Amino acid sequence: MRDVAVIGVGMNRWGELWEKSHRDIWTEAALKAIDDAGVDHVDAMYVGTMSGGLFVGQEHLGAMLADQLGMGPIPGTRVESACASGGLAFRQAYIAVASGIHDVVLATGVEKMTDVDGGRATYALSTAADQEYECYHGITFPGLYAMMARVHMHRYGTTREQLSAVAIKNHHNGAHNPLAQYPMEITHDVVMKSALVADPLRLMDCSPVTDGAAAAVLVPLELAKKITRTTAVRVAASAHATDTLALHDRPDMAWLGSTAKAAKDAYQQAGVGPKELSFCEVHDCFTIAEIMVIEALGLCEKGKGGEASAAGRTALGGEFPVNPSGGLKSKGHPVGATGVAQILEVVEQLRGACGVRQIKDARWGLTQNMGGTGASSVVHIFERA
């Protein structure tokens, strides 16, 4: 296997992009990444997307977007793993470069979710849960995560204020991200006055519905050192694990087994542990998710994620900063694009290009992207090369 580096990243401003088409937003991000990398061609491309069919009526995205890119008849592959589609698309690109199959590979993610109304968006998202045992009985993702939150609160004493602390911190970070969908500061009072979505989760505990895309260019590390105009970022680990699709089949609803397994594998590959990480970008689709993810990554003890968040340990200047980009909560969550955008933030942090939200002396960054209630998790670790 060859060492792999990321030499280019790009994304557009996320939000309700009614004036742009699905292919427009993808192209904008893809061309920004190619331009940033300074390459004149790509050998292959991967597209992470959850449901082009249900959101915009367009499938066959590997071929459609390769055609749109206009770089010849290159292999274009669509990758789907619900909200982890972007992270998994990046992993496929990594495997293609590491194995020696291709030298210059474009990893992308895209979702255009606001062309349908809220009900249809909720239905499209719910197809990532277990249709027979969960959705037919009326549950949706906010409801599933609300149950996880209730179990966590009951078992570990996690409080409503601790859930709010995650949203407040991520909106604070996102307020410094010019590409974020909701770049505003919020308070606990704002969270508590927002609409109740699925008890105990309120609107301000939820990631939004978003249009957006993100892209990255990967090459062998040796080639990166010769061609990059900026800091090359080495992919130190790439890991993927799964869990039961239905929440009730898990031995513990308050534990993310797929994230813990992928993290264990990633730490082993990279030769570093949670203590060495300078920061993480994690999948805070709901505030309780970030609390459970930091536990599964080993950043804090099991059951202590809420306490760690409220104590400021995950803040920008904290012991282990989490989601300096603003996370899914503030930056937005165009499901297929999220995993690639997490990698963009890590690359820019390791380049030292994040301005006010820059993590001092950042050397190691981790991304954790998950599908559904954690039925799939993809973890990557990056090092400033």
Residues in contact with ligand COA by the rule CB under 6 A? 83, 118, 122, 125, 141-142, 182, 197, 203-204, 206-209, 285, 333
Tell the smallest beta-carbon distance from residue 12 to ligand COA (Å): 18
Q: Shortest distance, CB of residue 366 to ligand COA, whole angstroms?
A: 20
Strands annotated E in 161-290: 196-198, 201-202, 211-220, 233-242, 279-281
Minimal distance, residue 18 CB to ligand COA, in Å:
13
Cα 309 → chain centroid: 19
Q: How far is the CB of 245 from ligand COA (least distance, A)?
A: 13
Burial of 123 (0-12, 13-18, 19+ CB in 10 A): middle
- Beta-carbon count within 10 A of 315 CB: 19
Which residues are CB-neighbours of 133 under 8 A, at least 6 positions away? 246, 248
Q: CB-wise, 208 or 339, nearer to ligand COA?
A: 208
User: What is the phi-psi region of residue 238: left when phi exceeds 0, alpha when psi lies from -120 to 50, beta otherwise?
Assistant: beta
For residue 172, the one-letter residue type is H
What positions carry a catalytic annotation?
83, 333
Q: Is 271 exposed, middle or buried (0-12, 13-18, 19+ CB in 10 A)?
A: exposed
Q: Which is nearer to ligand COA, 21 or 122 (CB)?
A: 122
Minimum CB separation of residue 327 from ligand COA in Å reads: 11
Judged by beta carbon, residue 67 or residue 115, the one nearer ligand COA is 115
Token output for 313: 């340990």
Q: Are 203 and 186 in contact (CB under 8 A)?
A: no
Identity of the residue, 136 or 229, whose beta carbon is nearer to ligand COA in the bound complex: 136
- Residue closer to ligand COA by CB (options 41, 120) is 120
